[in-house]
Structure 1
Amino acid sequence: MTVPKWYRRPDGDGLVLRKAPRLASWNKSSDPDQVRLRDYLEDTAQLLSPQLTADGPWALLLEVGLPSARDLVDMADLDNYAFPLATRLRNEDLVAVWCTKRHAEISRVLAAPARETTGPGTTYTVRTTASASTTAYKEQVRSAVVDAAEIPAGPVQLQLAFVVGPQRNWLTLWKPTIDALDPLLGRTREDRDWHPQDGRITDLGLHVTVDASLGHDVLLSIAAAPAGALRTDDHR
């Protein structure tokens, strides 16, 4: 069976976004948030189009700039920034998505050929068998980290490496997987399951490998640490 692969963060300064990044929205299509999201996605796809002409595995990097008064570890969840853009750009060759947030007046985006690297030193691995839309999936993911120590207060770097079958849309695994990581991230409220403090994630790396032998199962490796402490040979 294929083991999870990890990919380097794309190198380079990236392109300055002409429209501010937008969070995923599940409102009706005519809602102003949806209209602004579509405008941002189309403009960014056009901006990136010269970088998306090469064949072969590629990686996406989105660097979200937020106002200096904004608390970086409260809300503004990175998977909700990464998901709509990755969905808009996704093809079978997209194997890694990186997303960060920082205090800055501008945001940047970069697409580049994917380069495999060694994984982080400490990982938690689990094979899930349940549908990702069920509580059972989250319970299986949580079982991998249930005995892990909660990461001390402050910003977090998280990497998730998935191995999936060819029919699986790996992007839809991001949210339910992160929802199950409250043992690492802490809970927003002690009495609420599946509501981790995921706003703490300021550096997010997501990787995928396809293996037909898995069928509908998912093999997942998780690496998390205080921001700046999680190292692979590519970490900047």
Structure 2
Amino acid sequence: MIAARWYARPEGDGLTLRKPPRLASWNKSTDPDQVRLREYLEDTAKLLAPAMVASGPWALLLEVGLPTGRDLVDMADLDNYAFPLASRLRTADLVSVWCSKRHADRSRVLVAPAHVTAGPSGTYTVRTTASAQTTAYKEQVRSAVVGAAAIPAGAVQLQVAFAVGPQRNWLTLWKPTIDALDPLLGRTREDRDWHPQDGRITDLGLHVTVDSSLGHDVLVSIAAAAAATGKALSR
């Protein structure tokens, strides 16, 4: 039986980033945002090089520090912080990525061996068959949570565990999956599909296990709940 696998949040002091975290950018390569993003990624990769896990499954944690006056539940989407760094560091053994945001002067990053843990309670699971680049994929993910109660206004903790075939780049599943969670998160506008209030997510955990029997299908398990703003949340 195919099942999701959940991993514990990495623990340890980690390293203070020398350059502030940058959001993913889809602008042209010469755009200042792209230039700053590349500089941040290269500097952080060099910072982490001595600490990288030599072998076996590993996990990445990025804690984003934001100015005190910044609203933690509006914009600054965590998957857009996590995706560039995870893509830069990714190996076949990267199985868990955690990202959080809080009011702090500094941001922190940590890599560590991954440890399997019990899954959260109250998960929603669906097996998708459509391409992740299509609306059909989002509709299949949404079907798993469409009857769920919306999470009350405020900060949210979210974990998503994917089971995928061996050829799948699981990082590219993050955005379309989260885009489909508007029944839980609410919409930015009632007349807009696939635009959830995902800035509310202040603690994000993303996990993967590989199962060759899935082929091109993806098993998605979702756990979401209200969270305490700016605090480290439960594993």
Given the two structures, how large is their TM-score scaled by the length of structure 1? 0.96
**Which 10-residue stretch deviates more, 7-16 or 46-55?**
46-55
RMSD: 1.2
Please report how far the alpha carbon of residue 150 of structure 1 lies from its aligned counterpart in structure 2 after TM superposition: 0.3
Mapping of residues 1-236 of structure 1, within 5 Å: 1-228=1-228, 235=234
Query: 1:105-124: per-residue Cα shift (whole Å, max 9, x none)?
Result: 00000000000000001100
For the 8 Å contact 2:53–2:112, the answer to whether it is kept is no
The whole-number CA distance in structure 2 between the counterparts of 1:121 and 1:52 is 31
Letter of the 2:17 counterpart: L
Tell whether the 8 Å contact from 1:8 to 1:235 is kept in structure 2 after alignment: no
Which secondary structure state, in structure 1, belongs to the residue aligned with residue 109 of structure 2?
strand
Cα drift, residue 51 of structure 1: 1.4
Residues in 2 aligned to 1:51 and 1:169: alpha-carbon distance in whole angstroms: 24
Three-state SS of the structure 2 residue aligned to 1:102 is: strand
Cα shift readout 1:15-72 (whole Å, capped 9, x = no counterpart): 0000000000000101110000000000000111111142000000000000001000
* Offset, 1:228: 4.8
Task: Note the residue ranges of structure 1 that are not aligned, 5 or more in a row.
Answer: none
Q: Distance in 2 between matches of 1:4 and 1:169?
A: 16
Change (3 A) 1:53 1:121: closer
Q: Distance in 2 between matches of 1:134 and 1:84?
A: 22
Structure 2 unaligned runs (5+)? none
* CA deviation profile, 1:131-184 (whole Å, cap 9, x unmatched): 000000000000000000000000000000000000000000000000000000
Question: Hey, which bits of structure 1, 4+ residues long, moved more than 4 A?
Answer: none
- Counterpart Cα distance in 2 of 1:39 and 1:2: 40
Q: What percentage of residue pairs aligned between the two structures are identical?
A: 81
Shift of 1:2: 2.7
In the superposition, the TM-score normalised over structure 2's length comes to: 0.97
**Contact 1:164–1:216 (8 Å) recurs in 2:** yes
Count of matched residue positions in the alignment of Structure 1 and Structure 2: 232
CA–CA distance in structure 1, aligned partners of residues 107 and 153 of structure 2: 26
Q: Partner of 2:91: helix, strand, or coil?
A: coil
User: 1:235 is aligned with what amino acid?
Assistant: S
Q: Secondary structure at the match of 2:163?
A: strand
CA distance in 2, matches of 1:201, 1:115: 23
- Partners of 1:90 and 1:197 in 2: how far apart? 27
Which whole-Å deviations, capped at 9, do the CAs of 1:70-94 have from their partners, x for residues lacking one? Answer: 0000000000000000000001000
Distance 1:134 1:216 in 2: 14
